[in-house]
Chain A
Amino acid sequence: MTARERIAGSVANYVDERTGAAKWMKKNLTKVFPDHWSFLLGEIALYSFVILLLSGTFLTFWFDPSQREVIYDGSYEPLQGLEMSAAYASTLDISFEIRGGLLMRQIHHWAALIFMAAIVVHLMRVYFTGAFRKPREFNWIIGVGLLTLGIVEGFLGYSLPDDLLSGTGIRIAEAIIQALPLVGSYLAFFAFGGAFPGEAFIPRIYTVHVLLLPGAFLALITVHLMLVWYQKHTQYPGPGRTEKNVVGYPLMPVYMAKAGGFFFIVFGVTAFLGAVASINPIWLYGPYTPAQVSAGSQPDWYMGWLDGLVRMAPPLESYIFGYTISWNILIPGLIVPGILFTGMALYPFIESWITGDKREHHILDRPRNAPNRTALGVMSLTFMLVALINGGNDIIATTFDLTINQIMWFSRIGIFILPPLAFVITKRLCLSLQRADRDLVLHGRETGRLVMMEHGEFVEVHEPISAEKAWLLTQHEQNPALELEESDLRGVRRPGVLKNKLRARMSKAHAVAIPKATAADLKEIEHH
């Protein structure tokens, strides 16, 4: 036994005698994780969160979350002598007086953008592969919660420096709060400690940004990961992979090295962006005052769709009995996002209600094999994309020689037409991919080699595909639509019939598929 082994042994002994950890560790160090690049998207989000905690802590050492007015006397000449809030002045100091401060600010901001982007692509991966199905519905809901919190947390961070852009963002947030029926103006005065902008808002959101929400994040992320751990990871279909097993690499050492290494990769890439690309140059925006605004005032990208929706809203307000309801703010700012996020959170339950499928699923779907779900996903993304494009309509207009009015009208009409169109196209695309799969299994791969037959006809040689490939293309289930009784025998409509009808219709749409190739089909072909 070498000295090193002796030390390791005695440490392990010390810990185990006090915690009994050996049994747990033994089991979990051999835990298996399937390897696929798309399984790392959530990890990017997780690591970005860690980077945000580290860089954010650095920033708090110098940031002064106060709207007290100070005169700037730092080293950035074009602002010297101006009145500004202590929050803005201290952000300038972080940028210009603290060595590495600007780098850390930029890393923090880039990490936030990457965090949100990673959450979105992770969510897309989970959605399009059906990983949210039983038993993972809770984790899906937690994920939607994390996305929502991320948007709020990001917006608060964007608001903290109290520069002209962030102040404009807060002004708009205040207008949304103020537009709430009944309680709006009261809530706004409570949030801001009086009339906008007041002096209370930034200290308040600072506490929320650095304490309350990170705490909520930590709790939710912990549960999210514990569930992944306990339920074991899903895996893509393939030879040897079943609903009952997990095929992959053990945590110790392979996955630990890979996942651990990937943390450094994410941090390194974020630091690279922080080094080479300027983000949120607050010194150019200037301090916030309500009488100023910049052309092209936009939120960060994860709020861009919301801004785009607000821009395209119709100019509608109702005045009833001396009260005002601002539909132009409520619809795009609260109602539509509310419906979207609620629908997203409930989707696993909606789908299982439609299909009647209550079984556990650990093998992922290939998106083409769930055409309805895939089409719905692309439809939602199209909606978001149109909204996002409209959120940047002024920049797009000046870049591509268009007019903001054109883009606005394109969005106003497109937001209704393009998503359904995307649905139809995607669904057809999925079905034709299914057909291609079937042909591939039955007729093999086209080789491009031509052979002349005896009677002079040229025929392309088809090569049969491997057993592994054939399995991959045919392993999925094809379940028939639910059969639901629409009325009882005597034709008397019962309550719930309408619901059943809807469910039956949706179930039918959901079950549309090109029949997959079977062993019997193959045999028949061989026969010819």
Chain B
Amino acid sequence: MAPLLLVLALFSIGTTFSVAGAATSTPLTAAERSALIDEGQRIFLKGCSSCHGLNLEGSAIAPSLIGVGAASVDFQVATGRMPVADMSQQIVRKDPVYNEKEVEALAIYVASLAPGPEIPGEEHLNYERDGSSAEGGELFRTNCAMCHNFAGQGGALTQGKYAPTVMGVTPRHIYEVMITGPQSMPVFSDKTITPEEKLSIIKWIKAAENEPQLGGASLGRVGPVTEGLLVWTLGLGMLVGVAVWLAMKAR
């Protein structure tokens, strides 16, 4: 047994938690702030205003950004959803066009014109300390699982829209999503789901994300469909294969 255990020890890797990539949130001086707003305005006029209007008023093809707040800008731009190239389809997560500093500038600029939900600071995102994964699971199943599936893998909406997976999303972005309600998603207000409860949800999502395979290959965590598929392919395939061999005459 000793060699086997050695192999196990060599291979075993403990559960690791991905470190939340949050924006720096040291308080800004007035000068820094106004510089950022100028920078944000420059980016906005160049990259966003053709659709969202020179004064955030929106247009036929894009919503008004008045009152969406810094959180919304940060989520949309930092996850690469904005700027969007093809508006005929669902806006998806991709590599961001702007770097972290540019996103911050954009967010501050948009928020400076009309206030809205703010980017949660890192001190408000300590889900490990302030959240409870059991409570978070309960909240997730009541508020999120009907769209994002029981394990946060995402699911179908009407007319080809879908709720994306919540795996691999940074805690900051998960938080922003809940307070801003992007695209098809509704808003989850701080009074109906408190900030602590939101951290619990994040903690549960991160626990699910980092949960190792307790019972073998996860099969996508989408329920009985993939299980049925595996039975009809691998399961029955192996058995019929042996049956064919069994009935073949030996040479």
The stretch among A62-70, A114-122, A144-152, A471-479 that forms the contact with chain B is A114-122
Interface assignment of B234: CB less than 8 Å from any CB of chain A: yes
Q: Which residues of B lie under 8 Å from residue A118 when comparing CB positions? A: 236, 239
Instruction: Report the minimal beta-carbon distance from A282 to chain B, rounded to whole angstroms.
Output: 10
Q: Which residues of B lie under 8 Å from residue A296 when comparing CB positions? A: 149, 155-156, 222-223, 225
Instruction: Report the minimal beta-carbon distance from A119 to chain B, rounded to whole angstroms.
Output: 11
Knowing A80-B134, A102-B215, A286-B141 touch, does A298 contact B232 (C-beta < 8 A)?
Answer: no
Interface assignment of B72: CB less than 8 Å from any CB of chain A: no
CA distance A291 to B222 in the complex (A): 20
Instruction: Closest A residue to B132 by CB, please name it.
Output: A81
Report yes or no: A300 in contact with B217, Cβ–Cβ below 8 A: no
Find A294's partner among B137, B149, B162, B244 (CB 8 Å cutoff): B149
Interface assignment of B231: CB less than 8 Å from any CB of chain A: yes
Q: Which residues of B lie under 8 Å from residue A114 when comparing CB positions? A: 231, 235-236, 239
Find B221's partner among A106, A109, A284, A393 (CB 8 Å cutoff): A284
Q: 19 pairs across A/B with beta carbons < 8 Å?
A: A41-B243, A79-B134, A82-B134, A82-B137, A114-B235, A118-B239, A164-B145, A165-B224, A273-B234, A277-B215, A278-B215, A284-B150, A294-B150, A295-B155, A296-B222, A301-B225, A301-B231, A398-B155, A405-B159
Supply 18 further A-B pairs (C-beta < 8 A) apart from A114-B231, A402-B160. Answer: A37-B246, A40-B243, A41-B240, A78-B208, A80-B134, A165-B223, A262-B243, A273-B234, A274-B216, A277-B216, A284-B208, A284-B221, A301-B225, A304-B228, A393-B156, A395-B156, A398-B154, A406-B160
Residue interface bits A296-324, CB-to-B below 8 A is 1, else 0? 11111100100000000000000000000
Find A275's partner among B136, B216, B238 (CB 8 Å cutoff): B216
Per the 8 Å Cβ criterion, residues 254-269 of A in contact with B are 258, 261-262, 265-266, 269
CA distance A258 to B243 in the complex (A): 10
CA distance A286 to B231 in the complex (A): 24
Residue interface bits A77-105, CB-to-B below 8 A is 1, else 0? 11111100000000000011000001000
CA distance A164 to B145 in the complex (A): 11
Q: Which residues of A contact B (CB under 8 A)?
A: 35-41, 44, 77-82, 95-96, 102, 106, 109-110, 113-114, 117-118, 121, 164-165, 258, 261-262, 265-266, 269-270, 272-281, 283-286, 291-301, 304, 392-395, 397-398, 401-406
CA distance A164 to B137 in the complex (A): 12
Interface assignment of B50: CB less than 8 Å from any CB of chain A: no
CA distance A304 to B221 in the complex (A): 17
Find B247's partner among A40, A109, A272, A292 (CB 8 Å cutoff): A40
The residue in A258, A270, A294, A406 that gathers the most chain B C-beta atoms within 10 A of its C-beta is A294
Find A121's partner among B134, B154, B228, B236 (CB 8 Å cutoff): B236
Knowing A37-B240, A301-B232, A404-B156 touch, does A78 contact B147 (C-beta < 8 A)?
Answer: no
Knowing A293-B145, A304-B228 touch, does A165 contact B134 (C-beta < 8 A)?
Answer: no
CA distance A491 to B163 in the complex (A): 69
Interface assignment of B148: CB less than 8 Å from any CB of chain A: yes
Report yes or no: B238 in contact with A269, Cβ–Cβ below 8 A: yes
Instruction: Closest B residue to A405 by CB, please name it.
Output: B159
Report yes or no: B134 in contact with A78, Cβ–Cβ below 8 A: yes
Instruction: Report the minimal beta-carbon distance from B141 to chain A, rounded to whole angstroms.
Output: 4
Instruction: Report the minimal beta-carbon distance from A34 to chain B, rounded to whole angstroms.
Output: 9
Q: Which residues of B lie under 8 Å from residue A292 when comparing CB positions? A: 141-142, 145-146
CA distance A39 to B232 in the complex (A): 18
CA distance A258 to B142 in the complex (A): 52
Knowing A265-B239, A405-B159 touch, does A278 contact B218 (C-beta < 8 A)?
Answer: yes
CA distance A265 to B242 in the complex (A): 8
CA distance A78 to B214 in the complex (A): 14
Q: What is the interface residue range for chain B against chain A? A: 35 or more
Instruction: Report the minimal beta-carbon distance from B178 to chain A, rounded to whole angstroms.
Output: 17
Q: Which residues of B lie under 8 Å from residue A265 when comparing CB positions? A: 239, 242
Interface assignment of B151: CB less than 8 Å from any CB of chain A: yes
Interface assignment of B185: CB less than 8 Å from any CB of chain A: no
CA distance A274 to B134 in the complex (A): 27
Report yes or no: A273 in contact with B214, Cβ–Cβ below 8 A: no
Interface assignment of B230: CB less than 8 Å from any CB of chain A: yes
Residue interface bits B149-182, CB-to-A below 8 A is 1, else 0? 1110011101110110000000000000000000
The 5 A-B residue pairs with the shortest CB-CB distance in the complex, in nearest-first order:
A295-B155, A301-B228, A403-B160, A294-B150, A278-B215
Q: Which residues of A lie under 8 Å from residue B223 when comparing CB positions? A: 165, 294, 296-298, 395
Knowing A265-B239, A398-B154, A405-B158 touch, does A81 contact B215 (C-beta < 8 A)?
Answer: no
Find B146's partner among A276, A294, A404 (CB 8 Å cutoff): A294
Report yes or no: B142 in contact with A113, Cβ–Cβ below 8 A: no
Q: Which residues of A lie under 8 Å from residue B231 when comparing CB positions? A: 110, 113-114, 117, 273, 301
Q: Which residues of A lie under 8 Å from residue B218 when comparing CB positions? A: 278, 281
Q: Which residues of B lie under 8 Å from residue A41 when comparing CB positions? A: 240, 243
CA distance A269 to B151 in the complex (A): 28
Report yes or no: A295 in contact with B133, Cβ–Cβ below 8 A: no
CA distance A275 to B232 in the complex (A): 17
Report yes or no: B227 in contact with A280, Cβ–Cβ below 8 A: yes
Interface assignment of B213: CB less than 8 Å from any CB of chain A: yes
Interface assignment of B187: CB less than 8 Å from any CB of chain A: no
Instruction: Report the minimal beta-carbon distance from A296 to chain B, rounded to whole angstroms.
Output: 5
Q: Which residues of B lie under 8 Å from residue A405 when comparing CB positions? A: 158-160
Knowing A44-B239, A281-B221 touch, does A293 contact B156 (C-beta < 8 A)?
Answer: no
Find A164's partner among B141, B230, B232 (CB 8 Å cutoff): B141
Knowing A44-B239, A266-B239, A292-B142 touch, does A79 contact B137 (C-beta < 8 A)?
Answer: yes
Report yes or no: B145 in contact with A117, Cβ–Cβ below 8 A: no
Find A273's partner among B133, B204, B207, B235 (CB 8 Å cutoff): B235
Instruction: Report the minimal beta-carbon distance from B236 to chain A, rounded to whole angstroms.
Output: 5
CA distance A261 to B245 in the complex (A): 12
Interface assignment of B138: CB less than 8 Å from any CB of chain A: yes
Q: Which residues of B lie under 8 Å from residue A35 when comparing CB positions? A: 247
Interface assignment of B113: CB less than 8 Å from any CB of chain A: no
CA distance A110 to B209 in the complex (A): 25
Report yes or no: A37 in contact with B204, Cβ–Cβ below 8 A: no
Q: Which residues of B lie under 8 Å from residue A121 when comparing CB positions? A: 236, 240
Instruction: Closest B residue to A82 by CB, please name it.
Output: B134
Interface assignment of B114: CB less than 8 Å from any CB of chain A: no
Interface assignment of B219: CB less than 8 Å from any CB of chain A: yes
CA distance A207 to B147 in the complex (A): 35
Report yes or no: A286 in contact with B150, Cβ–Cβ below 8 A: yes
Report yes or no: A40 in contact with B246, Cβ–Cβ below 8 A: yes
Report yes or no: A284 in contact with B151, Cβ–Cβ below 8 A: yes
Report yes or no: A82 in contact with B239, Cβ–Cβ below 8 A: no
